[in-house]
Structure 1
Amino acid sequence: MVNIAFPRENIEFENRCSLLPQNVAAYKRLGMEVLVESGLGKGVYISDTDYEQAGATVLHTKKQVISGADIVVTLHKLNHEQVKNVQPGALVISFLDPFNEFDLIDTFCHQQITSISVEMLPRISRCQKMDALSSQASLAGYVMVQKGMQYLQSVMPMMMTPAGTLKPMKVFVIGAGVAGLQAIATAKRLGAQVTAFDTRAVVAEQVQSLGAKFLEIDLGETAQTAQGYATALTPEQMAIQQREQAKCIASSDLVITTAQLFGRKPPVLIKRDVICQMKPGSVIVDMAAENGGNVEGAVARDVVNVEGVTIVGTGFWANDVARDASQMYSSNIISLVSECWDIETQTLPIELQDEILKAAVITHKGVIVNQTIADFYEQQGKVQLVTTEKPQYDTGAVSQANSATSTLTNNSNEVA
């Protein structure tokens, strides 16, 4: 029987978890044994007894949970010491941040660990139920509006009172991806006057469908990737964007920035001279602060005041609604595992010709099999992490990690 394990998260203040008691039955139906580290659900007020009553086995140490597992699922990536406790041949599923975690990926290769990075799942209709990046980003958009309200000294909607009329708050959202659209929708529901901008003109209709105004800026030719992510602008286009949106920023009470480039440092969209034009008491919430920031002066995991403007860069946004975030993430993982699971052989075959696994599997059988990541590492000079020959796109099955794996079949498929 395959053991699937859910250790507690490494980050002390993280309340989210990768499994809720109501999810245990789904794994049991697949024929798995569910291992849970004691205290897994503490941050969302779920006891060990709740997991045991649902059919999971609760173990008291992280090492016990990890070392006995064939599949290890976490939200945040394991650290290097914990990876050493993972059995060779086992599968690790997590937000791995593979573009930046060179050493971790190297460790996976040396430990013969198969790894799936959930943020690399392709944005196709087949993957909607397992799209953890979008589910957490959507909640982040909601929370960022909530954070903005916390630090503002005004109400969002227009209010007609005996003491006079209160004007609606002006909210400007930069970036209309999943998080941005949710921020727009949330601010509109609360009665704010909302304007939004995105480099992808194709999202203007989505912004307008939520009742917000789309700020038109002529940047010339822009594009998005096949996965729907915005492509990087040229320095000239960045200058135009900053200049044209400065007026909207200066007149806004709350600005929310959500511009992130997948696998790269986010662009700086709001510089200090623009912040100085904002009204004292205004608030900026910078979604990208953890990775470098969209706002000059933003500090990761902190709230700072710049020229009378509060800049919120606390990050880990979905953690503020940890129960719902845990429910969404755990459902995403169940969908992923169920989609790939072979009920007859009771294994999770790593078939790299499959469009989902080809995009999301990073390491397998001791090599980097994800061509996008392999090419990126080569560009960065991390040649020690890339096999000297082109990775073999072979298939294997994650079953019981301490037993022999099945014979592999070589394929020549490569990640585009």
Structure 2
Amino acid sequence: MTEKRKSRPLMPAFTTIALILMHVKTNAQIAIANTEPDSSGRKWSAYLKGFVQADAMLDFQEFGAKDGIVAPSIVIPQHNSMSSYFSVRQSQIGLGLKQTDKNGDSPVSAYVEIDFYGPNGTTTPRLRHGYLQWKKWLIGQTWSNFTDAEIFPNIFDFNGANGAMLLRSIQVRYTEKLSDKETLSFSLEDPGKISMTIPKTHPEWKRKSLIPVATGMYRYGNARDYAKIGATLSPVNYENQEDGYTKIGFGGIISFRKYVTNLDDFRFQTSYGKGIARNNIVLSGEGYDAVFDPQKNTAETLSLFNIVGIYEHWWSPKWSSAAYYSYSQVGSSPTAGNGLMKRFQNAAINLIYQPYKNLRMGVEGNYASTENFEGKKSDAFRLQFSTSFSFK
């Protein structure tokens, strides 16, 4: 939870802001080792990628989350307490190893990446990605197949649009290239990411990991313009002291990015299903996949609807802006009034200055609101000033 602070005059707060560094995040990599090609033309190479990032946030209301906007964590009832927070925890370092054949293809590769988003506000390293790839197969932890990491815009906030489906999961994935513009992928993923809300009055019930989550994703397009459509089956397994039970969740996602001009692009994503909150960027692990109903002595999967719209514009080669709006709604349940959120939304706009390819700095304003199943509402506003330097 965010540390409570007494309200303070605006002038000292903005004096503090004037001294703050700003933020940046771009993908780049440094080659650190290469072997000579063998007799068949294959060679190995290692590379380093990531960025060092510094963030400073000024909150005008109380959030339960510090490093990124999490609308469901806004304190209810409304608490207008101004506070500031400084962080370098979003900094990321990744190490990759790949084999390249004489045609330039990479049939074998491995990648490991960490950030410094440790527990309890620490900067303890945390594993983000760790996987092996062999031809069409991927094994390890990376973005879920029921996810679109490409839609993530050029923003500063760690979470961004709260309605986005963005999850890292341990998985086995198979990808088939159907044509130059088409790919189809399937995966079996870790069921341990599924979470369920169980009343404290029924400790005999517990959720368990058993049947893996199954996903499928179809992508059409090129590196710039594309469309994706995906589906998932998400089993919720639970048991008491005598028997085990399974509820099958399901969901679908549609996502696309379209460049209107060379300076403007629009991104859109919508998703709906039951028992799929594990994939939501802010609801994963928070008990929104299912709730246990003591009256029926069974679990009920919760429905979730999300919609996200994003627009980006480059004012000049060094100046750009991104704006987005996100809305999410959780389905009703007789037992969902246990502090769970019924609906939440957030919107943001930023201004980024990029004097060099690997350096960005800027400011972002983010508004978020939430309402729980008891009808209580709260909203909050955050200003974020950030800078980052990516490896190049």
Specify the TM-score bucket, using the shorter chain as the normaliser: under 0.3
Higher strand share: 2
> What is the TM-score normalised by the length of structure 2?
0.24
> What is the TM-score normalised by the length of structure 1?
0.23
